[in-house]
Amino acid sequence: MTRISDPRFNKVAVAVAATLTFAAVTAFGVAPLREAELPAPETVVESLVFQPEIAETPDSFVQTERIRRGETLASLLERLGAADADFLQFASSDKSARKLLQLYAGRSVTAEIDGLGRVMSLQYRYGNLVIDGQENATRLTIKREGEGFVAVDEPVPLDRHTAMAAVTINSSLFAATDAAGIPDRVASMVADILDGEVDFRRDLRRGAELRVLYETVREADSLDGPVGTRVLAVQLLNDGERHEAVWFERDDGKGEFFGFDGRGMRKAFLRNPIEFSRVSSGFTNRRLHPVFGSVRAHKGVDFAAPSGTPVRASGSGVVDFAGWQNGYGKVVVLRHRNGVETLYAHLRGFASGLNKGDKVEQGEVIGYVGMTGWATGPHLHYEFMVDGRQVDPMKVAMPESEPLEAAERERFASHAEQVAVQLAQLDPLRIAARFE
Ligand SMILES: [Zn+2]
């Protein structure tokens, strides 16, 4: 591929790398978290035990329900086992309690209901959570008091939990992490972090050893899943090779992954806009077109994936087009810096609310795999363009991050050493046994 060494593109690529900010963070779909001293490692991943703050009395019971799509407060109360017209009246008229009526599907509500079906108290967590140091999750509590109710807004405490796990991979990455109780999100992040070094579909050998240090952030005493997850370090021993990465916050406050030797791992573009899919048709200037039966160039890459699979922005950029184009069907075109564009075709649909001009971050879901336009089956057709000319995204040179400054290197070395010592303490066999 001669275009890869096109000096103009190399210049473009380096410029893209230099102007990236939080790409390394957003690539993994988590909000930037404050860099803190690493807490003491825990070697077992345990789910938190739900301990409601509401005391259960013999006459009452405490129940938690997840809000369903399109649910009304009345139907939610019914599922909670309540029959309480006064509560409904209060919740729909009180200024603070009215927030309760914004019932977001998937969130949970915990209520104490007495023997008469009356709501004694009810808790609802709402509000956007920003995790960059501001712990501003909020919770609404409505309590029965005398003849009426009072509504109280309060911040929800967050539980930060650092976990370490070591697993031996005998079939697939996900099978191994599932068996060890490691969240799927963490497994996906690991695949992204080592993207370009290890192809987890093809390169894994039986008996590969994975060690991972990660952090989850949850709302305290909530049944909801983590509101933030991030990998702090990963180490993979596979086929006689060692692959590793450690998260490090640079002097400018921006974090990214480095090898333990201080080599940067940040990439301006993900190779693969779909997690764990395979290339079904590569980039070529001549191929037999599956629909037209004639020989045409295929100036993109096809990824086979089931209909509905999320498609991720391979790099941060701006939506240049989201709509229908003949042949391409439903298509998204993203404009990145310095004349780079990426195109995602045959989509079944777009991420909700996606519009021309929107900013998207690397890794953000922009649409879903489909077979709109001229397609014989569900797949993603992906193009990577430099100054309007398609290049092979599988071969194009990905820019590297800025090397560590001398001052950063010392801080990095001690951080990396600390993490390496933690990871080395893990014995995969012993830990695997505890999960059996
Ligand atoms: Zn294609």
pLDDT digits (tens, 9 = 90+) for 385-395: 988 899 888 77
How far away, in angstroms, is 29 Cα from ligand 1 center?
27
Distance CA 148, CA 90 (A): 8
- Ligand 1 centroid distance, CA of 281 (Å): 7
202 vs 242: CA distance, rounded Å: 16
Q: Let me know: does 94 contact 107? Beta carbons within 8 Å.
A: no
Lowest mean pLDDT among 16-20, 215-219, 381-385: 16-20
Q: Could you tell me how far CA 84 lies from the centroid of its own chain?
A: 39
Task: State phi, psi for 185 to the nearest 5 degrees.
Answer: -55, -40
Residue 20 has pLDDT above 50, yes or no: no
Residue 341, pLDDT score: 95
Its pTM surpasses 0.85 = no
Q: Residue 26's pLDDT band (boundaries 50, 70, 90)?
A: very low
Rounded distance from Cα 301 to ligand 1 centre (Å): 6
Those residues whose C-beta lies under 8 Å from the C-beta of residue 376, and which sit 6 or more positions away, are 290, 291
**What confidence tier does 181 reach under pLDDT thresholds 50, 70, 90?**
confident
Q: Say how many Å lie between the CA of residue 322 and the centre of ligand 1.
A: 18
Confidence of residue 396 (pLDDT cuts 50, 70, 90): confident
Distance of CA 20 from the midpoint of ligand 1 (Å): 29
Q: Where in the chain is the domain with CATH 3.10.450.350?
A: 60-156, 160-267+403-434
Q: Considering the domain 160-267+403-434 in this protein, what is its CATH number?
A: 3.10.450.350
- Going from the Cα of 180 to the center of ligand 1, the distance in angstroms, rounded, reads 37
Ligand 1: distance of its center to the CA of 346 in Å?
9
Rounded distance from Cα 374 to ligand 1 centre (Å): 9
pLDDT digits (tens, 9 = 90+) for 111-141: 999 988 999 999 887 754 554 454 556 778 8
Distance CA 4, CA 8 (A): 10
- Report domain 278-391's class: mainly beta
Residue spans in the chain of domains classed CATH 2.70.70.10: 278-391
| Residue 276 in this model has a pLDDT that exceeds 80 | no
CA angle 130, 133, 136 (to 5 degrees): 45
**Distance of CA 379 from the midpoint of ligand 1 (Å):** 8
Q: What is the pLDDT of residue 222?
A: 66
Q: How far is the CA of 300 from the centre of ligand 1 (A)?
A: 6
380 C-alpha to ligand 1 centroid (Å) = 7
**Alpha carbon of 368 to ligand 1 centroid (Å):** 15
User: Distance from the CA of 302 to the center of ligand 1, in angstroms?
Assistant: 5
Q: Give 277 Cα–ligand 1 centroid separation in angstroms.
A: 14
pLDDT at 344 over 70: yes
Residue 79: other Cβ atoms inside 10 A = 15
Q: Which band of pLDDT confidence, cut at 50, 70 and 90, is reported for residue 435? A: very low
Residue 423 CA to residue 234 CA, distance in Å, equals: 8
Place 431 in a pLDDT band, splitting at 50, 70 and 90: very low
Ligand 1 center to 376 CA (angstroms) = 10
Please give the pLDDT value at position 398: 63
Mean pLDDT of the chain: 77
What distance in angstroms lies between residue 384's CA and the mean position of ligand 1's atoms?
Answer: 12
Question: How far is the centre of ligand 1, averaged over its atoms, from the C-alpha of 383 (Å)?
Answer: 8
pLDDT band at 434 (very low <50, low <70, confident <90, very high): very low
136-150, 286-300, 330-344, 399-413, range with greatest mean pLDDT? 330-344
pLDDT tier for residue 70 given thresholds of 50, 70 and 90:
confident
CATH architecture designation of domain 60-156: Roll (3.10)
Give the integer Cα–Cα distance in Å for 56 and 108. Answer: 18
CA of 382 to the centre of ligand 1 (A): 7
Residue 213 in this model has a pLDDT that exceeds 90: yes
Q: Is the pLDDT of residue 428 over 80?
A: no
Q: How far is the CA of 354 from the centre of ligand 1 (A)?
A: 23
Q: Tens digit of pLDDT for each residue in 218-273?
A: 777 666 667 778 899 999 999 888 899 999 988 887 788 898 888 887 777 887 89
pLDDT confidence tier of residue 324, bands split at 50, 70 and 90: very high
Residue 430 has pLDDT above 60, yes or no: no
Between the CA of 174 and the centroid of ligand 1 the distance, in Å, is: 28
> Distance from CA of residue 141 to its chain's centroid?
30
pLDDT digits (tens, 9 = 90+) for 286-309: 665 666 556 567 889 999 889 999
Q: How confident is the model at residue 17 (pLDDT cuts 50, 70, 90)?
A: very low
Task: Report which of residues 310 and 403 the model is more confident about.
Answer: 310
How many percent of the chain have pLDDT more than 70? Answer: 74
Residues 6+ apart with CB under 8 A from 353: none
Which pLDDT score is estimated for 49? 38
Cα–ligand 1 centroid distance for 17 (angstroms): 28
Residue in the structure block whose two tokens are 């990577």: 384
In the structure, ligand 1 is a single-atom ion and the residues with CB under 5 Å from it are 300, 302, 381
